[in-house]
Amino acid sequence: MSERTNRGAQAEGPTRRQAIACVAAAIGGLAVGSTESWARAWAKAEGGVSRTAEAIHQEIVFQASRKRVYAALTEAAQFERVVQLSDAMKTRMRPGAPPAQISAEVGGTFSTFGGIIVGRQIELVPDERIVQAWRPAHWKPGVYSIVKFELAESGSGTLLVLDHRGFPDGDGQGLLDGWNKNYWEPLRKYLA
């Protein structure tokens, strides 16, 4: 095969050697019961694209207007009242922790739960959508996830759709518990 033809064949997919390495790694992973090994081997053969990333999707209905829910999530004084009703207040926040600081501007920063959650506002569409670069302060520096809150009318209330993506593998269950205990339960109480 000419060098030119050989380069063209490689551009179409993994080489035979890459495919064999992928299958060998996958079989080894299955032998020890690890689907992670299979996923890593497959991602390597596909140029490093992971197809196994965790994500959180929740749909919660609040008996309040979209305007009121949006304000509770974007106005520091209101969100601080939500924080005071949260599980984090009882278990993780230190006495004298700073109050919530939330910028109302795209590109502005936020710090909530006494600095436990920090980030930057990416998109703010009043009463409709909030998108944030979001992270717990204990994650490695520079690691951010994307949180999107979509608000839609639901009868006399508001349907809030949360999509949380891009967080470190293995953090999904802890984050899901945090959303429920530190956001949805206290927000429901606050809006009642």
Residue 33 region, left (φ>0) first, then alpha (ψ -120 to 50), else beta?
left
Sign, CA torsion 12/15/19/22:
negative
pTM: 0.73
Least confident segment among 24-28, 59-63, 151-155, 164-168: 24-28
pLDDT, tens only, 109-151:
999 999 999 999 999 999 999 999 999 999 999 999 999 999 9
